[in-house]
Structure 1
Amino acid sequence: MSLKQSIRNSSKWLVGSNLISQIIQFLFGIVLARLLVPADFGMIVTIQIFTGFVSLVASGGLGQALIRSKEAGERDFQVVFSVQLAVGIAIYAGFFLIAPWFAKWFGSPLYEDLLRISAISFLMRPFLNLHNVWLHREMQFKATSTISLAANLLSGVSSIAMAMAGFGVWSLVLSGLLGSILNCVLLMRITPMRTKFIFDRSIARRHSGFGIKITLNDFISYMRHQTSNFILTKLAGPTTVGLFNKGDSLAKLPFSTISGPIYQPVFRSMAAEQDNPDRIKYLYFRMVSLLLLYTMPIYVGMWWLAEPLIVTLYGTQWAGAAIPLEILSPLGFLYCIGHPCGAVLGATNRVGREVVVQTITWIIVGVGCYVGLQWGLAGVSFGIVLSQVYSTTHMYLLSNAVIKATPRELISALAPGIMLNSVLVGTIILIDAVLPAGFRSDSTVSYILVTAVLGGLVYAAVFLFFPMDALRDEANRWKRMLRIAV
């Protein structure tokens, strides 16, 4: 199988299953938002700020190191598992001990039990990582995608059932653990990896070199993303955190649904071609073009429909979440450029240079959100925008040192997506002008459907029948699938 076909097949399973999972989680999220209150979600976000930060230390980047390594045998996997389990046990013990202080600091005794139960995940992650990393290295994404879908379905159903039974915030914590248990059991049944406690200093040292760089980069990136939540938690309370996080997570939905899953097969393929900069350049620009094609119209739609979408889906108590959604959605354009840069730097062992970018971005986020908070959620959101503009610019400059692309090549990769989405923006503006006055506010659901359907049809028609050269092969592939004459 060719590299191109391998990436396409892997991406198909990852994106397809992730899309279904995101739709399921999205629908479950709508139900949960109506059963719970913003403060419940805000408390979970507060817990996740700290557990997510420590999880980076627990993994140590060793999973990514195994995926990237040209050679990795069973003993390598077992050594990594042993190291991660030892670290996981230590982390759980630490969280258990500090839980009372944590609850006192945030002014709610409920945080003590929430933190202790949530930290159980650190005892499960080494088992999940052992099997997941093996499947990723073998590019068996069909298996991981199917299992993840089943786990997400169980988690979603159980969370709704517990929320209806009056479990409140606990419905979010316990359902997540149930999903992780199912995920772990199913993975253990389909991989040849077996858990053995082995420690080999030479193997640990060999993988930890790259792993430390990954961990440091992920740590700073994570802190950058969570700084806004932390500032809001301490200065504005859990309700404000819940509103901001809802808008922010929706603004990143195309990223997590499409961009994130595509990253793994592209990263693995770039790593296999790490000594061939021309091939890496091709993969980079191809990823940029396709991300713009498939994700940017969703960003555009969320930007235009932010307020009616939030109120219709989640109710008036979530109306404030429309502010960050409207401001952050256009950042999708920058994600389409910056995310592939991370794959280039990671595959060519230049993660250390990315750390500098993430550190400066983190500082911009912290200052921007702290200063912007005086203007509410809008001010915090613009602080995020400023940081992302810097981050994408610097990341592209670093990756361009590898691929050595000209400005013309970048413009050629961006032009088809920009053209298509310009047509989409023009279409929805025209639709809004043609519809009766007051239709947007008086018939919100109908307005959303009309805008989404007509805008989507025009976008698809232009892509299929008037494609630019860079997307002609992709358009023809869709024509063959849809049985439209090429």
Structure 2
Amino acid sequence: MSLKKQTFSGVIWTLADILFLKGLTFIASIILARLLGPTEFGLIGMVSVFISIGVLLVNSGLSSSIIRAQDADDRDFTTVFYLNLIISLVVFFLFYMAAPYIAKFYEQAVLTDIIRLYSFSFLFTALSAVQLAILNKMMLFKKIMLLNIPGTVIGVIIGIALGYYGYGVWSIVWMFLATQFINTLFIWFFSAWKPGLHFSLEKMKYHFGFGFKLLLSGLLNIVFNNVYNVVIGKFFTVQSLGYFERARTFSDYPVTILSGVIDKVTYPLLAKIQDERDRIAGVYKQLLQFSFFITAPLMFGAAGIAYPLFELVLGDQWLPAAEYFQIICLASMFYPVHNFNINILKVYGRSDLFLKLEILKKIVLVVGILVAFPFGILGLIWSTVITSIISLLINMHYSSDMINYSPSRQLTDMVPAFLTGILTFVIINGTVHLLHNYSLLL
């Protein structure tokens, strides 16, 4: 199959995966939000940063190294598999022991059991990471989707059933664990590759040398992306964190669909043409214009319809989250562009520069939080917009040197989509207000 056909097929099946499987999970979270409330989702928000860190530690950037390596063979795959497994056992033990201290930090005793139960997902991640990396490397996205269907469907059924019968926060926990466990079983038994009994120190040094820098930058990214959860969970109410989590989930969902499809397909594609810099620059420009012309009008439009959307979908108890949602939408629209810039660094093996950029952007984030904290939750949420824009400019500056596509040209190419987004907001928000005023007259 030609590269063009592989890319098109990858886009179609990755989109199907995200729309069906991620869509199913998203719908389940909406149902659970109506069955439960802000408190339960706030508790999950408190532990999300720790679970994300655990999953990242288990992978340690090794999957990206396998996908990137053009001459990877069974020695690479087997070495990374056992390395992942060893790391997962260490991480599981560490989080199991740390759970009571995390619960004490938030003054929520129930978090001890939640974190310990969630920690089993680290083992599932280790057992399936290499198989998934191989399938992604071969661009077999159809097979990935089919293997993930049973676990997602069964997990959703379990979660909704537990929520309906009053199991509260545990319905969210068991939905996640059931999905991860069953997905791992299917990936393990239906994947063609199985680990051998050999381990190469040479291969370990090669992949860990690349992956370790991605790991450090990924850790910075996760910690600081979730620092709002930590700050709100510690200094404000658990309900406030629940509102913030739902608002961010709703705003992130559409952009992660688009970014997930394009990122998953184009990273292997760009890795294959990494020696043709002019070609990469052309592909990058098309991705930038295409994605932002979707996300800018979409997110501006979503912000315009925020209040009726939350009232209709989640119910009156979630209306305070609508204002948070409107603000976060302004930051979320840039998410795919962030990813495209970062992928350029990864394709050219600049994990060292990747780490430096993450440190620089996190300094910006910390300053933003310190300045915004006295203004309460709304001040913190507005700081996400400002820091997102500054971080985007930093990413553009460093990636542009590699593909000869300057930040000013990138921003200029984004202007038409941004103006279209503003017009979309004005039209939709104006219509919402007219309909609301008309309903008051009836």
CA contact 1:220–1:358 (8 Å) conserved in 2: yes
CA contact 2:92–2:119 (8 Å) conserved in 1: yes
C-alpha displacement of 1:293: 3.1
Aligned residue in 2 for 1:147: 147
- Identity within the alignment, %: 24
- Please show how residues 89-128 of structure 1 align to structure 2 within 5 Å: 89-128=89-128
Aligned residue in 2 for 1:78: 78
**Once structures 1 and 2 are overlaid, which stretch shifts more, 411-420 or 216-225?**
411-420
Q: Distance in 2 between matches of 1:285 and 1:10?
A: 20
Structure 2 vs 1, CA of residues 408 and 121 (structure 1 numbering), >3 Å: closer, same or farther? closer
Aligned-partner residue type, residue 184 of structure 2: C
Q: Distance in 2 between matches of 1:350 and 1:72?
A: 19
Q: Distance in 1 between matches of 2:93 and 2:59?
A: 16
SS at match of 2:139: coil
Aligned residue in 1 for 2:313: 313
CA contact 2:67–2:133 (8 Å) conserved in 1: yes
C-alpha displacement of 1:411: 5.8
Deviations 1:289-327 (A, max 9, x none): 221233333212211111221122112221221122101
Deviations 1:332-359 (A, max 9, x none): 4422432211111111112322322322
Q: Distance in 1 between matches of 2:330 and 2:441?
A: 26
SS at match of 1:252: helix
**Once structures 1 and 2 are overlaid, which stretch shifts more, 41-50 or 101-110?**
101-110
- Please show how residues 454-469 of structure 1 align to structure 2 within 5 Å: none
Q: Distance in 1 between matches of 2:332 and 2:285?
A: 16
CA contact 1:369–1:381 (8 Å) conserved in 2: no
C-alpha displacement of 1:431: 4.0
Q: Distance in 1 between matches of 2:256 and 2:406?
A: 29
CA contact 2:255–2:333 (8 Å) conserved in 1: no
Q: Does residue 172 in structure 1 map to residue 134 in structure 2?
A: no
C-alpha displacement of 1:109: 2.5
Q: Distance in 2 between matches of 1:138 and 1:440?
A: 55
Structure 2 vs 1, CA of residues 9 and 295 (structure 1 numbering), >3 Å: closer, same or farther? farther
TM-score, normalised on structure 2? 0.93
Deviations 1:57-107 (A, max 9, x none): 221111110000011112211110101101111111122223333333332
Aligned residue in 2 for 1:349: 349
CA contact 2:31–2:160 (8 Å) conserved in 1: yes
C-alpha displacement of 1:420: 4.7
Structure 2 vs 1, CA of residues 77 and 371 (structure 1 numbering), >3 Å: closer, same or farther? same
Deviations 1:142-200 (A, max 9, x none): 11123334422222221110111221111111121111111112112332111345321
Aligned-partner residue type, residue 111 of structure 2: Y
Q: Which runs of 5+ in 1 are unaligned?
A: 444-486
Structure 2 vs 1, CA of residues 299 and 150 (structure 1 numbering), >3 Å: closer, same or farther? farther
**Once structures 1 and 2 are overlaid, which stretch shifts more, 320-329 or 347-356?**
347-356
Deviations 1:216-250 (A, max 9, x none): 12111111211111111111132111111111121
Aligned residue in 2 for 1:259: 259
CA contact 2:292–2:414 (8 Å) conserved in 1: yes
CA contact 1:56–1:219 (8 Å) conserved in 2: yes
SS at match of 2:198: coil
Structure 2 vs 1, CA of residues 130 and 305 (structure 1 numbering), >3 Å: closer, same or farther? same
- Please show how residues 190-209 of structure 1 align to structure 2 within 5 Å: 190-209=190-209
- Please show how residues 217-232 of structure 1 align to structure 2 within 5 Å: 217-232=217-232
SS at match of 2:305: helix
What value does the CA root-mean-square deviation take over the aligned residues?
2.3
- Please show how residues 51-450 of structure 1 align to structure 2 within 5 Å: 51-406=51-406, 409-410=409-410, 413-414=413-414, 417-418=417-418, 420-421=420-421, 424-425=424-425, 427-428=427-428, 431=431, 435-436=434-435, 438-439=437-438
C-alpha displacement of 1:262: 1.4
Give the paired residue count. 442
Structure 2 vs 1, CA of residues 374 and 152 (structure 1 numbering), >3 Å: closer, same or farther? farther
Deviations 1:90-147 (A, max 9, x none): 1111222233333333323212211111111111111110211110011001111233
C-alpha displacement of 1:439: 4.0
Aligned-partner residue type, residue 437 of structure 2: G
Aligned-partner residue type, residue 277 of structure 2: P
Deviations 1:27-72 (A, max 9, x none): 2122101111211111112122112113222211111100000111
Structure 2 vs 1, CA of residues 282 and 168 (structure 1 numbering), >3 Å: closer, same or farther? same
Aligned residue in 1 for 2:24: 24
Q: Distance in 2 between matches of 1:364 and 1:335?
A: 17
Structure 2 vs 1, CA of residues 363 and 80 (structure 1 numbering), >3 Å: closer, same or farther? same
Structure 2 vs 1, CA of residues 428 and 379 (structure 1 numbering), >3 Å: closer, same or farther? same
CA contact 1:66–1:133 (8 Å) conserved in 2: yes
CA contact 1:243–1:320 (8 Å) conserved in 2: yes
SS at match of 1:275: coil
CA contact 2:397–2:407 (8 Å) conserved in 1: no
C-alpha displacement of 1:328: 1.6
CA contact 1:51–1:119 (8 Å) conserved in 2: yes
TM-score, normalised on structure 1? 0.85
